[in-house]
Structure 1
Amino acid sequence: MDKLLRKTLSSLVRRGALQVTLPDGTRFTCGDGTGPQVAIRLTDRRAMLALLLDPEMQLGELFMNRRLLVEQGTIYDFLALVLAGARDQPPAWWERCLDKARFLLRHVTTRNDRRRSRANVAHHYDLDDRLYALFLDRDWQYSCAYFETPDQDLEAAQLAKKRHIAAKLVLEPGHSVLDIGCGWGGMFLYLTEIAKVREAFGVTLSTEQLEAATRRAREAGAEGRARFALQDYRDVTGAFDRIVSVGMFEHIGPRFFETYFQTCRKLLAADGVMLLHTIGCSDGPNHPNPWINRHIFPGGYLPPLSEILPAIEKAGLIVTDVEVLRLHYARTLQAWRERFMARRDKALALHGERFCLMWEFYLAMSQTAFEHQDVAVFQIQIARRQDAVSLTRDYIVERENTLRAREPSFADTGHQA
């Protein structure tokens, strides 16, 4: 088993420097020795076997349970070394069998009916809000930021994301907007206070997010225009000029894609526009990551465009624009991870050591997935009519400039969750 582990890691880590210490004290190194050295220790032989048989599931488990210790560098450094080499290295036959089995079971693990959707959301989003305050920006945007320049910080990039989405929605002051998965209400406040929409209705399945969003609207004096409800998207009624959904589609599950877009078509006005912002895969249909599915986002699934677009078409909707944000989320996650680690002592006081290790692994694994694997963010603009938006994309920049000019007074009010 020692030789197999060494062979496996050496095939993955060809560049860089990795030192591995086995349970009996034996050490070996992988890579060409360039860059900072990363050193890990496996504490028992069963940990070695688990890592070999099912790394996709067991690496996070071993790190959380301190059976894989990072003695030099960080878990991010280790994951970056391994995943950078894994792009060109085919998985072992038993890993391919596991992948196939998980793919066949994905409709079971992502069966997000109303009851399971509510439970899945509570698992992640109804954690103590003090945790999210440790690493999110002051507007509590828990989705991919939009970095317009290399040196832009997280606060500015999250504001740019809201501006970019609002511009693509082609908003007018008299419009009504539905936000499916409204989070802590930051997007809503931007649409009501900056884009000046007539009314906005947000739905969420998180009780803590609902409370925060409602409070923020009240404090901003926007409660008459911004309304929120604890409601499943399938139960929303009415008609809306615009629909926006940011970071929620990942919780739908492939068996409900057609239901989701049929619901959106029913709710969207005839000349309406929708903007869907979702994480997805660029390498075709896959299965949910088993570790993420167990500990972080139960029922979650990252869809490829090849599954999203047919569901849009079947619902009688038209795709009017697609933008792929590739490394923007990697930078977002890096900022979150650095902020979390800088305040780790506060997270430790809230949730304990095992939770902190789990959260560190989640942020590090997610960042490296965007950097080294086929994971990206899709922004898909959707309409019911071909002429709902301009035939060229110039209007996006024009509307961003208009919105940007309105932002300073809004930023000065200090809207926070």
Structure 2
Amino acid sequence: MDTSRQFLANLLAEAGVQVDGGAPWDLRVKDDRLFREVLLKKNLGLGEGYMLGWWDCERVDELICRVLKSGTADRVRGCWRLIVRLVPTLLVNLQSLSRARIVARRHYDLGNDLFQAFLDSYLQYSCAYFKGMACEPDPLQLTADQVSRDLETAQQSKMRLICEKLELKPGETLLDIGCGWGGLARFAAENYGCTVTGVNISRRQIDFAREFCKGLPVEISEADYRLLHGSYDKIVSVGMFEHVGYKNYRTFMETAARCLAPDGLFLLHTIGSNATSPDIDPWISKYIFPNGVLPSIAQISRAAEKWFTVEDLHNFGPDYDRTLLCWLRKFRDAWPDLQQRYGQRFGRMWEYYLQSCAGCFRARDIQLWQIVFTKIGRDQPCCRLT
């Protein structure tokens, strides 16, 4: 047997995964070139092999979860090419003002039809909140209608949770940094009577958001967060901090502090890493989110400490596992209508993206945090003496 195949098969076996086994999480290999690529490129080789059809697996999410929880992935040494890829992250600001639109062009501007096919009606492209809902079976085993209903309910619960944490009131002003397709801006304006300013750099999202929020006190502007000014009662940023980059965390916090009213509240909703690292996941960065990097709690805290007090930290990362599987189910249902435009290779890429991320959250390798900040020295009403 080829030594690379044997080595990888032995490692996977330690995670309870068999090569060409019969379990849903087992790896069924169609091209033996996969083994050498995985040993050379680790997760980049695994993801590219899936895109090329070199292997299949009924439940990629569970495969990834088992590999991560077992720690076997750490025993595959990275090649020099992956180490070289880290050099720019250390020497260059990959998320500078001049480079910020790369991710917009390559991901968020792919096509609104794609995102409308698998997201909810408010186009919430971030973790839903399932607390209080029945613990349903695997979303992939539910009916399409049930998945859509569950996702719709959970995403509105997430938006309501954000608005309640921000203590939004009628007449207040809300700044939404990285407002996506305008779903949260619309929800807040409709249900809490506030005036919303949403900023974004994705032109397709901006065009959609302006139409989606028409008739409401919502203004959608094309602007980079670094250029923001003005004063707002409340600030929110959902699913955008992952694109900021560790060289810019303090600039982001300084901007939020500059724009937040003295008695205001700022909520940051972001995926996060358990460990502080400049590392950028090579497959995700190459094919899904160019130059994306996940912050650690330590990095967020250090960036915020000059301007903010942390009032609340909430982790509901496990809900992202369920969210991603709902998206996967809806994507599969919609794929026959999308296939001609996007192509088979894209379909496999997107499936691997959604499933591998679900596996990462299930293994608790990455987290989802909502952090509520106030400006240092802000009066807390319940603590006032007079």
In the superposition, the TM-score normalised over structure 2's length comes to 0.88
The number of residues matched between the two structures is 369
- Written as runs of structure 1 = structure 2, the 5 A alignment for 1:47-62 is 47-62=34-49
In structure 2, the partner of 1:213 is 209
Asked if 2 retains the 8 angstrom alpha-carbon contact of 1:17 and 1:36, the reply is no
In structure 2, the partner of 1:111 is 94
Among the aligned pairs, what percent are the same residue? 33
Match of 2:238 among 221, 233, 246: 246
CA shift, 1:108, in A, is 5.2
CA shift, 1:91, in A, is 2.0
- Written as runs of structure 1 = structure 2, the 5 A alignment for 1:57-76 is 57-66=44-53, 68-70=54-56, 73-76=58-61
Match of 2:164 among 161, 167, 186: 167
In structure 2, the partner of 1:289 is 281
CA–CA distance in structure 2, aligned partners of residues 69 and 61 of structure 1: 10
Q: Give the match's secondary structure for 1:278.
A: strand
Q: Which deviates more from structure 2 when the two are superposed, residues 9-18 or residues 359-368?
A: 9-18
CA–CA distance in structure 1, aligned partners of residues 343 and 14 of structure 2: 36
CA shift, 1:75, in A, is 3.4
Please give the per-residue CA displacement for 1:138-160, whole angstroms capped at 9, x wherever unaligned: 11100001111352711111001
In structure 2, the partner of 1:359 is 350
Structure 2: which 5+ residue stretches go unaligned? 136-149
In structure 2, the partner of 1:38 is 26
In structure 2, the partner of 1:23 is none
Asked if 1 retains the 8 angstrom alpha-carbon contact of 2:262 and 2:378, the reply is no
CA shift, 1:105, in A, is 3.8
Distance 1:239 1:126, change over 3 A: same
Asked if 1 retains the 8 angstrom alpha-carbon contact of 2:226 and 2:252, the reply is yes
Aligned partner letter, 1:216 = F
Distance 1:304 1:101, change over 3 A: farther
CA shift, 1:125, in A, is 0.5
CA shift, 1:39, in A, is 4.4
CA shift, 1:104, in A, is 4.8
- Please report the RMSD computed on the Cα atoms of aligned residues, expressed in angstroms: 2.3
In structure 2, the partner of 1:414 is none
Q: Which deviates more from structure 2 when the two are superposed, residues 265-274 or residues 73-82?
A: 73-82
In the superposition, the TM-score normalised over structure 1's length comes to 0.82
Distance 1:317 1:39, change over 3 A: closer
Distance 1:229 1:107, change over 3 A: farther
Q: Give the match's secondary structure for 2:100.
A: helix
Structure 1: which 5+ residue stretches go unaligned? 21-28, 393-417
Residue 91 (1) aligns with residue 75 (2): yes
In structure 1, the partner of 2:185 is 188
Distance 1:389 1:165, change over 3 A: farther
Match of 2:368 among 340, 353, 377: 377
Residue 127 (1) aligns with residue 110 (2): yes
Match of 2:330 among 317, 332, 339: 339
Distance 1:169 1:274, change over 3 A: same
Match of 1:304 among 282, 296, 315: 296
